[in-house]
Amino acid sequence: MQRFRVHYAWVILVLTFVALLAAQGVRLSFGAFMTPWESEFSTNRSVISLVAFISYIVFAISQPYVGRLIDKYGIRYILSFSILLIGFSTILTFFTTDPVQLMIIYGVIASVGFGGASNVAGTIAVATWFADKKGMAMGLMSAGTAAGQLVLVPLSLFLIDQLGWKTTVIVLGCFLILIVFPLLLLFIRSSPSDIHIKAYGAKEDAATSQSGTKEAPKATLSIFQLLRRREFLFLMLPFFVCGVTTTGLMDTHLIPFAQYCGFTPGITGAAVSLLAGFNILGTVVSGFLADRWNCRMILAFLYGVRALTIVLLLIIVNDASLFGFFISQSHLLILFAISFGVVNFATVAPTMKLATEYFKHLSVGAVIGWIYLSHQLGSALGSFVPGVLFDLTGSYAMSFIASIILLIGASALCMMLPKTGVNYHHSGGQVIVRNS
């Protein structure tokens, strides 16, 4: 009787999921620390938002380099030691006495780690280990970030409320250093060839590397060459808007917004948990559909629906009485959390699947790194500008309106993406484009 065996690609996927849960869960907990840090350092929201802005800029700049480092050194070491760096940096925030120190420790040092333990590493891991069911694997991998939001953000809120923010950073840092780091270092492998197997679902004719024939190095295009390609530009710009409206605006400011509106900690925590829970659902379903449906139309739909969900926050901001007899303000916040959660990180799987198809004959780490750079630049602006506008106007209304306009534009760009099937070949240092 033959024993049932699990392909090691699924082990890699689980470990990558855990790494993203830990690293990005800590990063997405930033909003939970905003109010305590404002009080601790006697400062305003603009200054604390500046910490997030610096963090996202460092995160953004790191992405192309992370892609290249992974291409050179492998997923195992980059992912493991990024987790270690985040863990030590998180603990070091315990000793900060002013916002400048926070900007250096969290905004710069920890953010280099966030950049290494990000979806760039996860996407490369999936592209390396999965030849089949790649869209579903992308969705499950991306759900790690959403799971971090579900587990660590409410946990941070609870620990801050019960024990204070300083004890909370010690708990989070120790979790990363003592549990996650050893797990990754011991069990992650960078490539199927490291353990003498093929990628999941790889065909027999893909086994040339097994026979000792070395694969030719893949070409790398500069950012200026990539920007001249419509498929890159129309993936990058909507992903920039994705960063503005998700990790930038919502993940940084939703908790402070709810607190400003007077919602209780219970309602706020429930909204964050529901957003994260439905985020996981939306991300996994999106990955499943990316293997079966047109990814361009999936993206256009997701950005369009995301614009509609933000209208709910405008109703709360303006205390509109249109639905006053049917839906209370707290119910509107819960409705927003559910609807926004479904489309929150759901854009990652179809975006990355399109990227790996458009540029499959190029260095995937470099291309994906540039695409994620745009996302983090959007996150930087989305975290900082709403904080400044809030201090100037006393409201988030302008930020919500601007987000709706940007999302409509992103939806339109996705509909104009070219069909997949453009192949890149390189010869003598030149890249030749062929339509298949």
Helix (H, G, I), strand (E, B) or coil at 27: helix
pLDDT for res 319: 67
Q: Report the amino acid identity of residue 166.
A: K
Q: How far apart are alpha carbons 98 and 245 in whole angstroms? A: 29
Q: Is residue 169 part of a domain?
A: yes
- Overall pTM > 0.95: no
pLDDT for res 431: 45
pLDDT for res 22: 94
Among candidate residues 413, 98, 46, the one with its CA nearest the CA of residue 252: 46
Residue 213: what are its φ and ψ, rounded to 5°? -80, 125
Q: Is residue 115 part of a domain?
A: yes
Q: Which two tokens stand for residue 31?
A: 């909003």
CATH of the domain at 321: 1.20.1250.20
Q: How far apart are alpha carbons 13 and 19 in whole angstroms? A: 10
Residue 207: what are its φ and ψ, rounded to 5°? -95, 20
pLDDT for res 183: 95
How far is residue 118 from each of residues 162, 209, 288, 373, 375, measured CA to CA in Å? 30, 28, 21, 11, 12
pLDDT tens-digit readout, 316-345: 877 655 444 445 678 888 999 999 999 988
Bridge partners, 377 (sequence order): none
Total domains in the fold of the chain: 1
Q: Is residue 433 part of a domain?
A: no
Domain ranges, residue 235:
8-193+221-422
- Extract the residue ranges of the chain whose pLDDT is less than 50: 1-2, 206-214, 216, 322-326, 422-436
Separation of first and last alpha carbons in the chain: 45
Q: Is residue 434 part of a domain?
A: no
Question: What is the C-alpha R_g of the chain?
Answer: 21
How far is residue 83 from each of residues 101, 111, 124, measured CA to CA in Å? 21, 11, 17
Q: How far is CA 268 from the centre of its chain?
A: 22
pLDDT for res 211: 40
Q: Is residue 211 part of a domain?
A: no
Q: Is residue 101 part of a domain?
A: yes
Q: Is residue 199 part of a domain?
A: no
Q: Is residue 202 part of a domain?
A: no
Name the H helices within 192-294. Answer: 223-227, 230-243, 251-260, 265-290
